Chains A and B, each alone.
Chain A
Amino acid sequence: MVSRILSVVEKNFRQIFGSKSLSLIIIVAPLIIIILAGLIFSSTSLKEVKIGTFTDDSQELVNKISEGIRDRGFEAIDYPSLESCKSDVKEENTHLCLHVVVEDSGLREINEDLGHATYFYADYSKVRLVWPVINVAKGIIDNLNLKITEQTVNMLAENIDYFTDELEDKEEVIEDAENKLEDVEDLVDNSLKQVEKIRQEIHNQKNLLYSSNIVALGNEIDMIKSIVGSAGLSGGTESQLLDNLATVDNGIAKLQGDKISLIQKSDSVDGIIYSSTSALNDVQDKVNRLRIEMGRVRTQLPKLQKLGMIKRIKGKDIVDPIPTHIHSVTGNQEEASLENAMSYLDYLTPSIIIMTILFVSALLGTVATIKEKKSPAALRNYLTPTRGITFTIGTYLSSIILVMVQVLVLFLIAFFGFASYMMNNLLLVLPIIFILASIFIFLGISIGYLFKSEETAIIGSVSLCIIFLIASELILPIETLPKMVSMFTSFNPFVLGETILRKLIIFELPIMSVIKETAILGGYAIIAFFLALFGQKRLKKDL
């Protein structure tokens, strides 16, 4: 049987390499897929990305953004209008349109670049590309934002620094002024006491004045005058006495007038003293308050001096006080920074490998089978004393040899394209790929036997691949599917293969971590083999 199987394999290879059309279908087409996949692995950065920019009145800022875009190795295209910018995204001439507008709230007085907003216009139908491009553009804007914020914060820090220095110098002056104010306060207090004393004396004097009975003296003089008149003194003496009494009376009257005038003047002085006292009280109060305020300022000075420490802090530390560091859970601890933001494509490696194997293997199995089935020699094959299993195994072996050679080409391209991580656990990865390729080849063979025409068989095979693809994490996260469906899809060989390769290539885990998935895949390979045998049994009907 082995000799017969080898004969079938030899015949298949002779046929493939002897026929241009067959070799084109079976070798060249899959090889192109493999090379493309290999090239993806060789460089996971975005290339040839074009970002359109437009602004009405912030050309300077847009120039800075364009510079950032070019620094990342992308192309920046300046557009004369927003419509043309958006239109080119729709027509796929650019990948993103970036619109910069002024939304000024007075900040531009501080920094010309402040007070702007950016609007992205993206084509979300390009599911796989739109997010990386947005990430890149956002990264560029974030970088610029950081620079602008740093500049602004640095400027603020410099000003605060200057003022705290000034405050440090003025602390003694404030203290001195505070002391002087205290002296002034004491002085005012003494003055107030003196004034009060004067006011009291004036008050006493006024009371004395009030108590002097000058009017009674006048009455006494009048009484003396009447006594003199009645005393019968000589006319001369009497008149002398009366004249003298009149002079005294006039003096008393004048004294009465002076007393009134004095009282009025002391009232006036009293009023002045009172207002002076109020003024002094007011001055004292203000000085007191000023002193308290100055004392408070002085006690606050150490706090303000803390601001001076800001000069030791970088703007970045204020803008981004809690920096985020994202590390992958792989052995590679390289930080996922803006610069290597695209490295997430590396994590698609298992999916891309499985997808390539899926399509290449299933189509190879189908094409090889249907070509054999449609071959004029199919009937003669059947007439030989050779069991059907021989042909199925022969077709499988021919296909698996081709697939494994192509897989090696894929790994070699990836390796020489500096995706050396692909070589992680290679000795474990290759047997897993072998099992996966076997499953898909056997399924492809089954489809080849099941369908009658080449066209329908290929459509059937591609449809099967698409079903596997849709029911995987490559297009939709399994978590978004209904629970029952997601449970079934988790047993999809594509998903199982992805899981195994992710663990082996990316996380570099040992074989024991994927033993369950590998066992299930092995089971699938056996089932697929029996499906292929069942299909082969049906072949007789088509002869």
Chain B
Amino acid sequence: MSFIELKEVNKSFNQNQILNDISLSIEKGDFFGIVGPSGAGKSVLMKTLLGIYLPDKGQVIINSKNIEEDKSLKNIIGFVPQNSSLYPDLSVFSNMKYFGKLYGMKLKDIKERSKILLGDMGLSSVSNKKLKSLSGGMNRRVNIACSMLHNPAILILDEPLSGLDPLLRKQILDLILRIQQTGKTIIISSHFMNELESLCNKVAVISNGEIATVGGPKEIRDKYSPYYEVKIRTYPGKYKSLLEALKRNGVLIQKVEMSQRDLILYLPKSANPRTQLGKIVSTSDKYGESLLEIGMNTLSFAEVYREIVQ
């Protein structure tokens, strides 16, 4: 059995089906991403994982225990909400002390753990400052530190990168990565697909309350990106006649996008890319189109995601 398992979880509010037969398996140490458009059911899924919402049907099993029955599971879960979830009028340490107590920790342990976490996150100097006096970035880090205080095995992060500038986003990402490297199971929801692709070993795409797909980012991209994208720019750029010539010369064109400057060709993954590129170059020369630019790509994860949810 997986470390975290959702079995045919259904949840509805006021007869609105928000989660529909969601089944997921997350292994210990996974860096699991949850993506989906707004209103797809990500937040409800996360709150169900946290035990805030109980499924109408189905089960949430963590560490072989049903979350409905075993409240001790709260001790192994840490949650980092999108916005700060601490008391702004209390100091950083007072917040940590308070939540540490609620987790049943001894004051000595709280002090030790806080010192380590705040040191790791570069927050030692602000330990006695009120939260409301800290910057947005510091607030995010304190939020994460507080969620890590009780040393949870699972850390669930809800949009931890939203609203951050690129530099801060990088800092937070590095921090999350460091946490994951300590063997924690990370579940993260984000709209930053590229970052998710680089971090997560597994991603679930949710659409309309259902799991549209789940798997490794590469696996998903391969599954949902069946084309190579070849972008060419020629002179004088008579793309209609060039397109006809390319087809006649055996270029396996599946789909075409044409603009005033560029011609984008989508070639099947089954085709040999080197052979196909050779044919494109030779045909262009033959028909008097000087090749100014040529590039070959597969779809990005973000594009694949768009493909999936659309």
Contacts and interface: CB of A to CB of B under 8 A. Distances in A.
Interface of A: 3-4, 7-8, 10-11, 14-15, 18-19, 22, 375-386, 540, 543
Contacts of A386: 102
A4 B50 contact: no
A47 to B, nearest CB: 41
A18 B74 contact: no
B163 interface: no
Given A384-B99, A385-B104, A11 B81 contact: no
Closest 5 A/B residue pairs (Cβ) = A384-B102, A7-B101, A385-B74, A380-B85, A19-B89
Contact of A383 (B79, B83, B90): B79
A386 B94 CA distance: 18
Contact of A18 (B81, B90, B98): B90
A385 B89 contact: no
Nearest to A375: B87
Contact of A7 (B72, B102, B147): B102
B74 A383 contact: yes
A379 B102 contact: no
Contacts of B102: 4, 7, 381, 384-386
Contacts of A383: 50, 52, 74, 77, 79
Contacts of A379: 52, 79, 81, 85
B79 A18 contact: no
A19 B94 CA distance: 14
A7 B71 CA distance: 20
Contacts of B101: 3-4, 7
Contacts of A384: 74, 99, 102-103
Interface string B86-108: 11111000110111011110000
B110 to A, nearest CB: 11
A11 B94 contact: yes
A385 B98 contact: no
Contact of B86 (A22, A376, A382, A385): A376
Contacts of B71: 385
Given A11-B94, A14-B94, 11 more contacts: A4-B104, A7-B97, A10-B98, A11-B90, A11-B98, A15-B90, A376-B84, A377-B85, A380-B99, A383-B77, A543-B52
A265 B89 CA distance: 146
A100 B104 CA distance: 80
B40 interface: no
Contacts of A14: 89-90, 94
A15 B74 contact: no
Interface of B: 47, 50, 52, 71-72, 74-75, 77, 79, 81, 83-90, 94-95, 97-99, 101-104, 130, 146-147
Contacts, number: 70
Interface-centre pick from A7, A383, A540 (highest chain B CB count, 10 A): A383
Interface-centre pick from A4, A11, A386, A540 (highest chain B CB count, 10 A): A11
Contacts of A377: 85-87, 95
A378 B94 CA distance: 16
A536 to B, nearest CB: 14
Contact of A380 (B79, B97, B104, B130): B79
A375 B79 CA distance: 16
Contact of A22 (B47, B75, B77, B89): B89
B219 to A, nearest CB: 32
Nearest to B139: A376
26 contacts: A4-B101, A4-B102, A7-B98, A8-B98, A11-B87, A11-B94, A15-B90, A18-B130, A377-B85, A377-B86, A377-B87, A378-B85, A379-B52, A380-B86, A380-B146, A380-B147, A383-B50, A383-B52, A383-B74, A383-B77, A383-B79, A384-B74, A384-B99, A384-B102, A385-B74, A385-B75
Contacts of A22: 89
A258 to B, nearest CB: 155
A168 B104 CA distance: 107
A22 B130 CA distance: 15
Secondary structure at chain A's binding surface: helix, strand, loop or mixed?
helix
Given A384-B74, A385-B74, A15 B103 contact: no
A21 B81 CA distance: 26
Nearest to A383: B79
Contacts of A11: 87, 90, 94, 98
Contacts of A543: 47, 52
A377 B74 CA distance: 16
A11 B96 CA distance: 11
A382 B79 CA distance: 11
Contacts of A7: 97-98, 101-102
A380 to B, nearest CB: 4
B11 to A, nearest CB: 13
A6 to B, nearest CB: 8
Contacts of B84: 376
A384 to B, nearest CB: 4
Nearest to B52: A543
Contacts of B147: 380
Given A383-B50, A385-B103, A376 B85 contact: yes
Nearest to A7: B101
Contacts of B50: 383
A539 to B, nearest CB: 10
B119 to A, nearest CB: 22
A158 B71 CA distance: 100
B189 to A, nearest CB: 15
Contacts of B72: 385
Contacts of B146: 380
A385 to B, nearest CB: 4
B284 to A, nearest CB: 59
A355 to B, nearest CB: 31
A376 B71 CA distance: 22
Nearest to B47: A543
Given A385-B75, A386-B102, A376 B88 contact: yes
A11 B87 CA distance: 9
Contacts of B52: 379, 382-383, 540, 543
Contacts of A18: 89-90, 130
Contacts of B94: 11, 14
Contacts of A3: 101
A381 B85 CA distance: 9
Contact of A15 (B47, B77, B83, B87): B87
Interface-centre pick from B81, B85, B87 (highest chain A CB count, 10 A): B87
Contacts of B81: 379-380
Nearest to B95: A377
Nearest to A380: B85
Contacts of B104: 4, 385
Contacts of A375: 87
Contacts of B85: 376-380
A15 B90 CA distance: 6
A378 B102 CA distance: 13
Nearest to B150: A384
